[in-house]
Structures are given as structure tokens and as C-alpha cells.
């Protein structure tokens, strides 16, 4: 693609992308991962098959449902070989401290990487960051 310039700056035509519609993870232990995303992060289970689960995150600005799909791996992978490094979710800044406290009470080791970022790990080693915005 040939870049377009306006006022001496490159216009990023991909900026029309607003927010993710879905995230998919291949997982070793479906029950533990489903429990983490439901209980720790509060996502609602909206569909389930023997080797897959679909959880609702939120509605997008245009009303589309954001989801996270969990799919059971056919072969086990170690935590060191995860193909996804980090997943970030936005939360309102006023929820930052209460969420940190709630996750700690649930027994998770929570790190504050910056004043506006809470980080923890899901059962299979993916870093989950809650970015406090607003």
C-alpha cells in the first residue's frame, strides 16, 4: 500500500479500526481458563461446546459483542511456548483500586506496572493487563 500524506504527515488509513471484536486463545486446561476469565475478570459465558467456550467481554461502541473464545489444544504446550504474550483490557480509572483489591482477595499475585496498569497472569501464563482509563 502506498502511504498517503496530508500536511507532511502520513495518514494511517487503518485507524478506522476502533476496538477488537474477539480474541481467541488455544488452551491446555479448559476448566481452569474458563473459571479464570469468568470468576477473576467477570466475563459471562455465552456459549459452550466440549472443546470450546465463548465468553462476553462487553459491547463495542456500535453495539457488537466483544468476546473471548477459548479452544482446547489438541496437543499440550508449556507455559514457555505460549503464542500470546499479553492481553490488555480497559477499565474505568475509578475501578482500578477496587479491582486490584478484589483480585488479591481471590488469591492472585497482582503487579502494578504503572499507576494506570494492573497486571496478573491467567492459569496458562498469559499476562493479563487491566489498563485504567478515564
The number of domains in the chain is 1
Mean pLDDT along residues 93-112: 90
Query: Is residue 15, in this structure, part of any structural domain at all?
Result: no
Q: What is the mean pLDDT of the chain?
A: 81
Mean pLDDT along residues 75-99: 76
Tens-place pLDDT, residues 38-68: 999 999 999 999 999 999 987 766 677 888 9
Query: Is residue 3, in this structure, part of any structural domain at all?
Result: no
Range of the domain at 107: 20-74+82-133
Q: Is 14 a residue whose pLDDT tops 80?
A: no
Burial of 8 (0-12, 13-18, 19+ CB in 10 A): exposed
pTM of the model as a whole: 0.75
Query: Is residue 65, in this structure, part of any structural domain at all?
Result: yes
Query: Is residue 4, in this structure, part of any structural domain at all?
Result: no
Q: Is 113 a residue whose pLDDT tops 90?
A: no
Amino acid at each position: 500500500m502506498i502511504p498517503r500524506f496530508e500536511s507532511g504527515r502520513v495518514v494511517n488509513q487503518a485507524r478506522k479500526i476502533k476496538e477488537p471484536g474477539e480474541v481467541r486463545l488455544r488452551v491446555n486446561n479448559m476448566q481452569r481458563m474458563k473459571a479464570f476469565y469468568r470468576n477473576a475478570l467477570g466475563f459471562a459465558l455465552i456459549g459452550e461446546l466440549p472443546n470450546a467456550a465463548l465468553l462476553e467481554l462487553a459491547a463495542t461502541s456500535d453495539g457488537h459483542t466483544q468476546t473471548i473464545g477459548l479452544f482446547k489444544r489438541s496437543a499440550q504446550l508449556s507455559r514457555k511456548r505460549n503464542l500470546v504474550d499479553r492481553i490488555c483490557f480497559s477499565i474505568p480509572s475509578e475501578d482500578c483500586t477496587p479491582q486490584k483489591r478484589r483480585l488479591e482477595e481471590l488469591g492472585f499475585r497482582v503487579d502494578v506496572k504503572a499507576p494506570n496498569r494492573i497486571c496478573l497472569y491467567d492459569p496458562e501464563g498469559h499476562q493479563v493487563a487491566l489498563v485504567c482509563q478515564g
